[in-house]
Structure 1
C-alpha cells in the first residue's frame, strides 16, 4: 500500500516568483522587456528632437524689431572695422613694397659702384685681348687709347695680366721692358680681360686708325677672343677720400 502524502505543498511567495523571473526569464518576458526598452528610447529621442530654442518666443514684435536693429548696427560696425583694418593692411603692404624697392635700388647702386671702383670680383661675357710685342715696344699712349676706346663702348670691368684692376684713377707709365700700371710692372704679352658686350667691345678695336692699327704701328700683334663667360678676380683696396665729403643734404 502507498503511504499517504505528507500534506498540501506550500506555493512560492510573490518575492520568490519575482526573483525566479529575474534569474530565469522566459522567452515571453525577454521579448516584452526588449519592446519596453525600444519604446522608452524612442520617447526620449522624440522629446530631444522636438525641443526648440524659445529664447525669443516671449518677445513682442517691437522687441524683435529692436533686436534685429541692434544686430544690423553691430554688423555695420563690424564691416566698418574690417574695412579699416584692410586699409591699414594695404598701407603697410604699400609701405613695405616701397621700402623694399628703395633697398633693392640702393643695393643695385652699391653693386654698380663697387664694380666700377674695382672693389669686388666680377664675372660675365666679354673679350680677352692679347697684345704681343714683336718688332717694337708698345707705347703708353697706344695702350691708354685702347683702354679708353673699350670704356667708351661700355666696358664694365677691365683687368691687366690677371693682376691689375683698371679703374678711373689708374695710371700708366712707360718703363724699361714694359709698363707700370698703378705701381705694378707688367710685361708683354699684355692680356686685357674686359667684361661687356663681346661684339661691341671687339668692334671698338677694329675701326680704321683705331687701337689695333696703333698697336700694329708700335710693332705688336693683337689677338681678340670673344668669350661667353669671363672671370675678373683682381680687386682694388677702397680709397678713403682726403678732401671730399658727402653733402649732408643728399
Structure 2
C-alpha cells in the first residue's frame, strides 16, 4: 500500500489543478452565435421589401425607356458639353426671335402712324430688304469669313455642321451658305450614309461655310475653348478660318407657299 501524500507545508499555496477543455463544449456556443448572425442577416419577405423591389423594377424600366428615347433622337454620341451647347443655342435662338418680333411690332406701329408718306415707303423697303436677306431669297454681300471643315465621318458629321451653323449665328452671322446651299432659320443637316445633306441637298467634303458678319468676332468665336474648332480637331479633323473684307453669299433659298397657314388681318386702330 502506498504512503499517503504528505500535506503541504504550512503557509504554502496549493497548486491549481490543470484545466481540462472539451472541444465539443466550446464549439456549441460558437455555432449558436453564427446561427444567430445568419438569422439576423437573412432577407425577410416583408411588405417593405416587396415595395422596394417593385420601385427598383419601375426605376430600371424608366431608365431603359429614357436611354432608348435618347438613342432614337440621335444624341447618344454627344458629349455633355455638346448637349449643353445645343441647349444654349436653342435658348438664344428663342430670345433672338423674341427680339425680332418686338422690332417688327415697333416697325408696324411706326408705319401705321406715318401712313403713306415717303418715310413709310422707305422704311418698308428697308424692312423688305432685311427680311429678304434673313429669308435667303436675295443675295447678300459684305465683310465676313470663310470656314472650312474637313475630316472623315467620325470627325465631321451632320451634328457637327449643325453646331457650326448655330455657333456662327450666335456670333452674329447675318447671312451664310455652306457650299451652294443657303442657310436660313429652318435649315437642317442629315447624315445619308457617308454623305451629309443640307436641306435635302448633298454636300461634298471639305465643307465650306461662307458667312457675312464682323470678321474678327466670327473668327474669335470659332476658337472658343470647347467650341466647334476644338471639337473637330479633337476627333482628328481640320478646321481653317479666313477673314475677308468682302464676302458674297449668293446661294438662294426657295420659300414654299404655305398650304394651310393664312395671314390674320390686323385689327383696325379704332377696334
Smaller-chain TM-score bracket = 0.5 to 0.7
- Give 1:182's aligned residue: 199
- Provide Cα deviations, 1:206-239, integer angstroms capped at 9, x if missing partner: 1110111111133210000000001111101222
Structure 1 alignment gaps of length 5 or more: 1-94
How far apart are the structure 2 equivalents of 1:233 and 1:135?
A: 28
Describe the SS at the equivalent of 2:244. strand
Do 1:159 and 1:166's aligned partners in 2 also have CA atoms closer than 8 Å?
yes
Q: Deviations over 1:37-69 (max 9, x none)?
A: xxxxxxxxxxxxxxxxxxxxxxxxxxxxxxxxx
- Post-superposition Cα deviations, 1:64-88, rounded to whole Å, max 9, x if no partner, equal xxxxxxxxxxxxxxxxxxxxxxxxx
Give 1:121's match in structure 2, choosing from 121, 139, 145. Answer: 139
Aligned to 1:202: 219
TM-score, structure 1 normalization: 0.58
| Residues 1-250 of structure 1 aligned to structure 2 (within 5 Å) | 99-133=117-151, 136-161=154-179, 163-249=180-266
Deviations 1:103-143 (A, max 9, x none): 11111111111111110111110000011116944122221
Aligned residues of 2:162 and 2:188 also touching (Cα < 8 A): no
Q: Is the 8 A contact 1:116 1:156 kept in 2?
A: yes
SS in 2 for 1:179: strand
Instruction: Tell me, in whole angstroms, the C-alpha distance in 1 between the residues paired with 2:155 and 2:244.
Output: 27
Which runs of no fewer than 5 residues in structure 2 stay unpaired? 1-112
8 Å CA contact 2:163, 2:228 repeated in 1: yes
Higher relative contact order (CA 8 A, sep 6+): 1
Instruction: Report the TM-score when normalising by structure 2.
Output: 0.54
Deviates more, 1:131-140 or 1:189-198: 131-140
Q: What is the root-mean-square deviation in Å for CA atoms of aligned residues? A: 2.1
